[in-house]
Structure 1
Amino acid sequence: MSRRRSRSAPDGGISRRRFLGWSAAAGAVAVFGPVRLRAATEPLIRRSIPASAERIPVIGLGTARTFDVDPGDPAAMAPLQGVMSRFFEGGGRLVDSSPMYGHAEAVVGALARQLGIADELFMATKVWTRGREDGIAQMERSGERMGGGRLELVQVHNLVDLRTQLDTLRRWREAGRVRYIGVTHYRSDMHRELAGIVEREPIDFVQFNYNIVQRNAEQRLLPAAADRGVAVLVNEPFERGTLFRRVRGRALPAWAGEVGASSWAQYFLKFIVSHPAVTCAIPATSDPAHAADNVGAAHGALPDASGRERMVGYFRDL
Structure 2
Amino acid sequence: MPSRRHFIQGSASLLTLAAAAPLLPSLAFAAPAPLIQRTIPSSGQQIPVIGLGTSQTFNVSLDDDSLKPLDGVMRAFINGGGTLIDTAPSYGASEEVTGELLKRTGTQGKAFLATKISATGRERGLAQFEASLNALQTDKLDLVQVHNLQDTRTQLALLRELREQGKVRYIGITHYIESAHDDLLEVLAEEKVDFVQLNYSVGERNAEKRLLPYCADNGIATLINRPFQRAQLLNRVKGKPLPEWAMEADATSWAQLLLKFILANEAVTAVIPATSNPRYMADNIKGGIGRLPDAALRERIVQAFS
How does the TM-score come out when normalised to structure 2? Answer: 0.90
**Pairing 1:121–2:121 present:** no
> Which residue in 1 is equivalent to 2:286?
296
- CA drift of 1:33 comes to 10
**In structure 2, what is the Cα distance between the partners aligned to 1:34 and 1:148?**
25
Equivalent position to 2:22, from 35, 52, 55: 35
**Which of 273, 281, 287 is the matching residue for 2:263?**
273
Cα distance in 1, alignment partners of residues 261 and 299 from structure 2: 9
Provide, for residues 81-102 of structure 1, a one-character-per-residue CA deviation record: whole Å limited to 9, x for no partner: 0111111111111000000011
RMSD across aligned positions (CA): 1.5
CA contact (8 A) 1:35 1:116 kept: no
2:211 maps to amino acid = L
For structure 2, the residue ranges without an aligned partner over 5 or more in a row are 1-18
Deviations 1:78-124 (A, max 9, x none): 00001111111111110000000111001101111111111011000
State the distance in 2 between where 1:267 and 1:42 align.
17
- What stretches of structure 1 of length at least 5 have no aligned partner? 1-31
**Structure 1 pair 44–34 and aligned structure 2 pair: CA distance change class (3 A):** closer
Residue 154 of structure 2 is aligned to residue 186 of structure 1: no
Alignment of 1:58-69 (within 5 A): 58-69=49-60
Q: Secondary structure, in 3 states, of the residue corresponding to 2:97?
A: helix
2 CA distance for matches of 1:260 and 1:190?
33
Q: Does 1:209 align with 2:196?
A: no
Name the count of aligned residue pairs. Answer: 284
**Structure-2 separation of matches of 1:77 and 1:175:** 34
The separation in 2 between residues aligned to 1:46 and 1:161, in whole angstroms, is: 32
Report the Cα offset of residue 34 of structure 1.
9.1
Specify which of 56, 69, 77 is matched with residue 47 of structure 2. Answer: 56
Give distance in 2, aligned partners of 1:273 and 1:147.
Answer: 31
What residue is the counterpart of 1:23 in the other structure?
A: none
Q: Distance in 1 between matches of 2:113 and 2:246?
A: 32
For 2:125, give the aligned amino acid. G
| Amino acid in the other structure paired with 2:195 | F
Say if 2:23 and 2:75, in contact at 8 Å, map to a contact too. no
C-alpha displacement of 1:310: 2.5
Q: 1:61·1:96 contact (CA, 8 Å) conserved in 2?
A: yes
Q: Counterparts in 2 of 1:35-114, with a 5 A limit?
A: 35-38=22-25, 40=30, 42-71=33-62, 73-114=63-104
> Separation in 1 of the partners of 2:121 and 2:195?
22
Q: Quick one: which amino acid aligns to residue 113 of structure 1?
A: K
**CA contact 1:198–1:230 (8 Å) conserved in 2:** no
Q: Which amino acid aligns with 1:309?
A: E
